[in-house]
Structure formats: C-alpha cells, structure tokens
Amino acid sequence: MSIIICPYCKSSLYDSKEKTYICENNHSFDIAKQGYLNLLPVNQKKSKDPGDNQMMIAARRNFLELGFYDPLIESIKNLITEKLSFVTKDIIAFDAGCGEGYYSEKALNNLPGLKTEILGTDISKYAVKNAAKKYKNNFYFVSSIYNLPIKNTSTDLILSVFSPIMAEEFKRILSKQGYVIIVSPAPNHLREIAELIYDTFRPHTSNIVEKMTPLFKHDFTKKITFKIDLKSTEVLLSLLKMTPYYWSTGIERLENITNKNELSVTCDFNIDIFSQ
Ligand SMILES: C[S@@+](CC[C@H](N)C(=O)[O-])C[C@H]1O[C@@H](n2cnc3c(N)ncnc32)[C@H](O)[C@@H]1O
Ligand SMILES: [Zn+2]
C-alpha cells in the first residue's frame, strides 16, 4: 500500500498503471521517465528551481561514490540494526532531503534482520531525478520536508543527512514506535578546509536537539570522527564543491585549497536518534 498522498487534497495517491499517480479527486501526477514523481505544488515553490542545483548534485555524487564517507554509512547501519527495535521486520524507511540518493541506498538497504521499503524526497528536482535514475528499487519524489505528501503515522524510520529538518512533519508521519535519525556536522567537520578559507576557524554548532525535543524523546547521540586523506586536487575539488564553502567563497581563498594536491581532512558527524 502506498503511503504517499495528494499534495492538494491529502487523499491517497494510487498508481493508475498508465504512467500517472492519481487521487480520488482526480488530481494526477505524471511519472517522469526516470521513475520519480513531482509532488511539489507550484505555490509551494519559493523559487523557480528550489534546492540544490545540478552542479551541486553532481559534486555530491562524484565525492560520495569515492567511498570516503563509508564509515558514516557503517555507523548508521550498525545503529539501526543493533540499537533500534521495530515491531515487525518489514519497515518503511524514508530519506528526508535525500539529495542524489546515496544514503537512502547505502544506509537503509540490506539491513540485517530487516526488510525496508525505501522512499526519499528532496525539493531539488535534479536531486530526485538522479536518485530515481540510479536507485530503481527505491521510490523518490520531489516535495518539501515542510509539507510532506505522506500519510500520518505511516513511516517507521526517517533518515535526514545534512538536510533541513521539520519536527512537526516528522512527528505527523512517524509510526508510534518509529525512529528519526539525524546526521549533522559535529564541531570539527572539515576543519582543515575551513581553516584554509577563513582567518579563524569557528566550530560547527547544532540546534537539532532543541528543535526536536519539544516533540520527540532524544534517545542518544553517537559522534563519529575519522580522517580522510585526499590525494589529488581533483578529489579535493569534488569534496569542496559539495560544501557551501565552494559556492560562497572568493576565488583567491579557494586557491589556497585548489593549489594543494593533498590534504588530510577531519570528518566529524553527530548521529542523533529520536523516538516518540
Ligand atoms: C547538504 S544536501 C544533503 C543531501 C543528502 N542527504 C546527502 O547527504 O547527500 C541538502 C539537501 O536538502 C535539500 N533541501 C533543501 N531544502 C529542502 C526542503 N525544504 N525540502 C526538501 N529538501 C530540501 C537540498 O536540495 C539538498 O539536496
Ligand atoms: Zn487530490
């Protein structure tokens, strides 16, 4: 049974089997060639092309596929299988702000003892297009996490990696015994890169627990820190391009980095687990 709903009238959406999804009030949504749906009503778009652009999405894919963040993937998977307990082994897992789909595929699929039906959304159509094209077993749609086209209490596991969060919507869609996993930058994330760009390094701070705890129980934080050795300018650039530094920093400062052909960089993540 589908857990997605019509963004206009909130009734269930069904696969009409004619390359569209349709609701009982005849709102219909075409399935794109790559297999995704666009469920973002035009009046909820704050710009013509909201979310990450094609270049940012390509940069994320190039970097993530090099495997440097795989220790993070392993930690998320271990937490899910060792620390969380679900009522049944068949669960619905949802990647909120999925980008090009790396985490929904790598962290939510093939979990020992669980069978996951995986859905993901992002406000960027480039993100969703790339995710749907590559990860055909998962179901991706364009929407905003501030107004999710998902049924109440239908989702067992929500994963959010470096994306905006909306506690009220997460609360509404989460099943009674479900969990939310939020990955965010811990204080020293990419410290060496920031030090080459800014005169003084300001550690990352987080307000995720404050945002979530009015509505959720904070079960625990797992901090994971490791170093990655980037051994070419090309690899450095692909990491840089998936950070805000690249898109917001002047060329002279960027040259501090792009002139290098190797750099050892700290990766520092918080994985926060919340439940009802
Ligand atoms: C830093 S990226 C992280 C993407 C992915 N989780 C990853 O780690 O590779 C943040 C993502 O949030 C998306 N985003 C921004 N605002 C959003 C919103 N209101 N609803 C859904 N996605 C949003 C962006 O388009 C972008 O893909
Ligand atoms: Zn409708």
101/11 same-domain check: no
Helix (H) or strand (E) holding 235: helix 233-241
Is residue 247 exposed (0-12), middle (13-18) or buried (19+ Cβ within 10 Å)?
middle
How far, rounded to the nearest angstrom, does the alpha carbon of residue 131 sit from its chain's CA centroid? Answer: 11
pTM score: 0.97
Look at the chain and report how many structural domains it folds into.
2
What are the tokens at 227?
């170093």
11/51 same-domain check: no
| Rounded-to-integer distance, Cα 108 and Cα 126, Å | 21
Residue 1 is predicted with a pLDDT of 56
What averages of pLDDT result for each successive group of 10 residues across the chain (276 residues)? 91 93 97 97 85 92 96 98 96 98 98 97 98 98 97 98 98 98 98 90 95 98 98 89 84 84 96 98
What are the tokens at 79?
């937490």
> Is the Cβ–Cβ distance between 245 and 192 less than 8 Å?
no
24/42 same-domain check: no
26/163 same-domain check: no
Ligand 1 atom closest to residue 242's alpha carbon, by position in its atom list:
1
In the reported structure, the alpha carbon of residue 48 is separated from the centroid of ligand 2 by a whole-number distance in angstroms of 23
Give the domain CATH number at 51: 3.40.50.150
153/222 same-domain check: yes
| Rounded-to-integer distance, Cα 258 and Cα 235, Å | 10
155/103 same-domain check: yes
In the reported structure, the alpha carbon of residue 171 is separated from the centroid of ligand 2 by a whole-number distance in angstroms of 22
Residue 17 is predicted with a pLDDT of 87
| Rounded-to-integer distance, Cα 68 and Cα 226, Å | 10
In the reported structure, the alpha carbon of residue 91 is separated from the centroid of ligand 1 by a whole-number distance in angstroms of 23
Atom 16 of ligand 1, residue of closest alpha carbon: 51
Residue 254 is predicted with a pLDDT of 83
In the reported structure, the alpha carbon of residue 7 is separated from the centroid of ligand 2 by a whole-number distance in angstroms of 7
Q: What are the pocket residues of ligand 1 if the criterion is a CB atom closer than 6 Å to any ligand atom?
A: 51-52, 60, 97-99, 102-103, 122-124, 127, 144-146, 161-164
50/19 same-domain check: no
206/99 same-domain check: yes
By three-state DSSP, how is residue 219 classified? Answer: strand
Using most ligand atoms within 8 A of CB, pick from 38, 126, 163 the residue to mutate for ligand 1. 163
| Rounded-to-integer distance, Cα 108 and Cα 120, Å | 11
2/75 same-domain check: no
| Rounded-to-integer distance, Cα 238 and Cα 236, Å | 5
For residue 270, what are the domain limits? Answer: 37-275
| Helices H / strands E in the chain, number of each | 10, 11
Question: What is the DSSP track for 139-189?
Answer: EEEE-BTTB--B-TT-EEEEEEESS---HHHHHHHEEEEEEEEEEEE-TTT
90/17 same-domain check: no
In the reported structure, the alpha carbon of residue 158 is separated from the centroid of ligand 1 by a whole-number distance in angstroms of 14
> Is the Cβ–Cβ distance between 53 and 126 less than 8 Å?
yes
| Rounded-to-integer distance, Cα 101 and Cα 191, Å | 25
27/50 same-domain check: no
55/80 same-domain check: yes
> Is the Cβ–Cβ distance between 226 and 188 less than 8 Å?
no
